[in-house]
Amino acid sequence: MLKILDRYIIKTFFGPFFFIFSVLFFIFIVNIIWVQLGQFMGKGLTYWQILKLLFYLGVSVVSLVLPLTILLASIMSFGEFGERYELAAMKAAGISLTRVMAPLLGVAAALAVMLFFFSNNIIPDFQKKAKNMLFNIAQTKPALNFTPGQFIDQIPGYMVKFDKIYGENGENIEGVFVHKKASTYQDQQSIVAEKGKFVPAANKNFLKLVLYNGYVFEDKLEGKPENAKLRQPDQAIKFDTLVSHFDVSEIINKAIEKEQITDDYRFQTYGQLNETIDKNKKDNDKFFSNISNDVLNQTSAVVTYMDKNTKSKAAAKPQIKLDTVKGEKKLEIIYNAYNRLDNLKSTVEGKKNELSPNIKYFSKIVIYQQRIVSYSVTCIIFFLIGASLGSIIRKGGMGLPVIIAIVIFIIFYVMNLGIENISWSGKMSPYLAAWLPNLILLPFGIWMTYKALTDSQLFDAEKYKVLFKPITKLFSKSKEHKRYQ
């Protein structure tokens, strides 16, 4: 059973926790909106579809938001305990800092376990939904996805081509060609116009196109006998303005969340990633073996050639030094050997470039899998750092604690990115790369906890003034008047 003190400590922690989590989640979502803005704005999406997409994208940031939230909330809650002298009162009553930290350590461990299951079971599913939704938006919203000078068949039943597309949102077009897809026994229709413009339609399921100065070429063939078709003249109708509506409801409403991408490693759980890693290892071993054999064969050919040309034709004679070969024969041997070595060097560099994508992809898979666990451990490490810092600085609120927490998180994030890039280049094991930031911060967290338990004056400015006073005296003038010396 939780005691009154435990409930009070947990209540004090969760007050700033929910507020900070909401703020950080909103900040990360805004960043996602900024990055993904061009992919879904102006595509005729409903507010519900936009909110759903943002929710799908936002779920994946929880793995970063939660550790930072724990760091901030623990600093603020323990800072408030110290600022209100509650920590001093607890210690005076014989309650150690370890006892005060125990209930929140349990909460941090529970949150870490929840983050693992969330990252393992929920985030992959939402990553899949978000990836497919973004892909389908790009594919199924044709109003702004035309390429100038190319035939596009995204609109059901039509083939279109525009020579030029311009305007703030690409709404103005020139050199318009629209052809209605039809069989030999159906009415044929083609539209040619000098210019046109996309205009918002009253019904979002339709694409409205206004065309200017053009012709409609049409053959009325449907339902007529073969002889009548032969006598049917072509019809050309000139127009100044023509308004056309294209029904795109099928691709908008049915395909917007259709799953077309299913083979991304980010859609898999920890166990499924093990199978993907094993398969990738086997493929890489086979790939590396083929490359090694190619390089070794070419190297052997070069060595055989050089050895062959530096020996005499008679098998019984000893090996001849290159310096003893005369004139043009010597130059020929050197030139051919140089070319072969240069080709070998080019081959090795080419094979190295072939290896790099395989190494990078393998590292990405391993790091993604290991971070499902490592970010959960980060929650506990950040709690140790935050609780210790809060009890030492004894400051609550949104001032100094927030600055310190953000600095620590930035260091952690930069380490993550830097080590990740090193691993991608093949210079570090991806398993080590995923855990190295935690391995670096863990000793710091243990040290900070020790300092907090021993009531260290780590952030006492007066302590550092006394420490550096002998040095500062060397650079400061004496203020005592000469007459009193």
Q: How far apart are CA 307 and CA 299, in angstroms?
A: 12
Q: Which residues contact 318 (CB under 8 A, 6 or more apart)?
A: 312
Residue in 401, 308, 369 with CA at minimum distance from that of residue 78: 401
Residue in 66, 38, 182, 193 with CA at minimum distance from that of residue 123: 66
Q: How many Cβ atoms sit within 10 Å of the Cβ of residue 370?
A: 18
Question: What's the token pair of residue 404?
Answer: 């310190």
3-state secondary structure of 398: coil
Per-residue pLDDT band for 227 (boundaries 50, 70, 90) equals low
pLDDT digit string, tens, across residues 144-190: 456 788 887 767 778 888 888 887 767 788 999 988 877 766 777 88
Amino acid at 165: I
**CA of 79: how far to CAs of 73, 391, 395, 418, 460, in Å?**
10, 6, 4, 32, 15
Q: How far apart are CA 1 and CA 5, in angstroms?
A: 11
The alpha-helical segments, DSSP class H, found in 394-429 are 400-424
Phi and psi angles of residue 160, each rounded to the nearest 5 degrees, phi first: -130, 155
Higher-confidence residue of 308 and 380: namely 380
Q: What is the mean pLDDT of the segment spanning 36-51? A: 65
Instruction: Please state, for a pLDDT cut of 70, what percent of the chain lies above it.
Output: 68
* Burial class of residue 6 in the structure, from the number of CB atoms within 10 Å of its CB (0-12 exposed, 13-18 middle, 19+ buried): middle
Higher-confidence residue of 210 and 247: namely 210
pLDDT digit string, tens, across residues 390-412: 888 877 666 677 788 888 888 98
Listed in order, strand segments (DSSP E) in 26-70 are none
Residue with tokens 């800092």: 97
**CA of 317: how far to CAs of 306, 311, 320, 325, 334, in Å?**
17, 8, 8, 14, 22
Q: Which residues on adjacent β-strands are paired with residue 199?
A: 208
Rounded to two decimals, what is the model's pTM? 0.63
Residue in 331, 355, 351 with CA at minimum distance from that of residue 343: 351
β-strands 206-219, 172-180 pairing: unpaired
Q: How far apart are CA 437 and CA 412, in angstroms?
A: 6
pLDDT digit string, tens, across residues 431-473: 999 999 999 999 988 988 888 888 766 655 555 566 666 776 6
Phi and psi angles of residue 194, each rounded to the nearest 5 degrees, phi first: -70, -45
Sheet of strand 172-180, all strands in order from the earlier edge strand to the far edge: 158-166, 172-180, 188-199, 206-219, 235-247
Higher-confidence residue of 1 and 372: namely 372
Angle, CA of 276, 282 and 283, to the nearest 5°: 85
pLDDT digit string, tens, across residues 57-97: 788 888 889 999 999 898 888 888 888 888 888 888 888 88
Contacts 24+ apart (CB under 8 A), 65-69: 65/21, 65/24, 65/25, 65/28, 66/21, 66/111, 66/115, 66/375, 66/379, 67/115, 67/375, 67/378, 67/379, 67/382, 67/409, 68/24, 68/382, 68/405, 68/409, 69/17, 69/20, 69/21, 69/24
